[in-house]
Each structure stands twice: as C-alpha cells, then as structure tokens.
Amino acid sequence: MKNFIEIKKTLASNWFKFLQEKIVEEFELLEKKYKKKKFTKREWSKDNKKEGGGISYLLEGGGLFDKVGVNRSTVSGIFKKEFRSKILGAERDGKYWASGISVVAHMKNPKIPAVHFNTRFIVTSKEWFGGGMDATPTFHDEKEKKNIHKKLKDVCLKNKKNYQKYKKWCDNYFYLPHRNEPRGLGGIFFDYETKDWDQNFKFVQDLGITFIDITKEMILNKIKSKWNTVDKEKQLYKRGRYVEFNLLYDRGTKFGLNSGGNTESILMSLPPQAKWK
C-alpha cells in the first residue's frame, strides 16, 4: 500500500513538472510577439532540504503580461498543531506531503481578464486532489464569460465531474464578503476529491490543458482591443480586490505559509500594481 502511494506521488509530481514547463513555453510564445520578455527561473528549498522545495517562473513588464507567475512545488513535513484541524487527515500527527502547480497572470491590456489556475495532490492520512480555474475581468463580456464556462463544463462532463457543483463552489469561494461582491466571473473549484484516483488524475491533467487553451484563446481574441489610461485605472482598482481576496481568504496562501513554503513564490500571485479608493 505504501509503495502504491509513492507511485501516485511520483506520477502527480511529474505531471505538474511537465505542465509547468508547457505553460511557460506557451506563454513565452505569446509574449514573444510583443516584447520578447522571458521568464526568470528561481529554485527554492525548505529550511530542511529533505522536506523538498519548488521552482518558480516569473515574467514581469512584458508587452502582453504585466506579471505572470508559474509556480510548482513538492514539499512534506508536519503542520503546526493549530493548523492541523483545518486539513483533512492531518488532525492526528500533522504529517503531510503535497505537490502542485499554481498560475496567476495579470495582463497589460485591461480588456483581457486576469487568470488563475491551480491543481494539487495532497497526502496526509488521507489523499486527495484539489484545484480549479477562474478569470477576473475588469470589463464585462458576456460572450467571453459563456465561452470560458462552456469549455470548463465540457472538461467536467468529459471526466464525469459535477460541473454545477464545481461552479457553485467557485462562486462561493471566490467571493469577498466584506465587499459583498464576487472576485470575478467565476470558473470551477474543487477540493477533497478522494475517490477513484485514476479518474481524478485524468481530470486534473485535462483541466491543465484546458486552462492553456482557454487562456490562449482569450488573449488572442482581445490582444488588439484598444484601451486608455481610464481603462488602466479601472483595472488597477479591480486588482485591489484581487489583493484583498488573496491575503484575507485564499486557501493556497494560508496552506503555503503554514507548510513552510517560499514566501516570495506564495505571494507571486499579487499584481505588480493595484489601487484603492
């Protein structure tokens, strides 16, 4: 049984490695058309190197991307006692192993939504997949919204997943209660997928490829859209909401900080600029 879990860990972490490299490659090809900026690569490890680390790719100040981070990590350890009750299967001894990928892209053109994607495989005394994808536009575009949701619905149906459940979960999760407003147009969000490992792993893989497809299509449809300083100002205020959510409510941020993750990589999701009134 132990060897079987180790095989699962290897398969999952190898997939996240492949997907990270694929996303970096695809995003650099898109950026190349405008400013030829490239990602910078940074490797990090936990204080106890036996507990793993990660690789972060960051591209800033591009012609297409204001800032985009593509992070991957594989870490293990023991959760702090006060955090154990918040993690499935960690209540007894706090031991964990986790591998995953996280992507956040903030666009230069305010007409193109910011995008967020992550998937992860976590092992405590339980084991499960989690993740999702969502988009945060500054300007409402109903056609774009329907297209994103259609593609996410298709990948869920293809893998016999409950799209409506995941959509509702996303709507409830990416919500700012202190503002009484959603963060963006939604998407899908899921966690604690413990049954049928093979099916869940396939879904996580298909979702990663779907994220690339959705993002590329969204960018190519909007990249020539004209914008001005008023539009940019509006985008910066919208980014303020993004910052509020990530620092106040985001599970990934809390998990990363409580599992000894790299602070710079965890906070890479924050936009390069934001404003508040």
Backbone angles phi, psi at 181, to 5 degrees: -155, 150
Helix, strand, or coil (residue 38): coil
In the residue annotation, 140 being an active-site residue is answered as: no
From CA 238, how far away is CA 218, in angstroms rounded? 18
CB atoms within 10 A of CB 268: 20
Both structure tokens of 143: 């056609």
Provide the pLDDT for residue 200.
97
List alpha helices for 80-135, DSSP H.
81-84
Provide the pLDDT for residue 2.
64
Both structure tokens of 93: 């001894």
Q: Which fold has domain 2-269?
A: oxygen-dependent coproporphyrinogen oxidase (3.40.1500)
Contact in structure between 31 and 64 (CB atoms under 8 Å): yes
Conformation bin of residue 29: beta by default, left when phi > 0, alpha when psi is -120 to 50: alpha
Looking at 116, 140, 149, 178, which residue is catalytic? 116
Domain boundaries, the chain: 2-269
Provide the pLDDT for residue 1.
57
Provide the pLDDT for residue 265.
79
Ordered mean pLDDT values, 10 residues apiece, the chain (277 residues): 86 98 97 90 90 94 96 89 75 86 97 97 90 96 97 98 97 95 95 93 98 97 96 97 92 75 82 94
Contact in structure between 267 and 274 (CB atoms under 8 Å): no
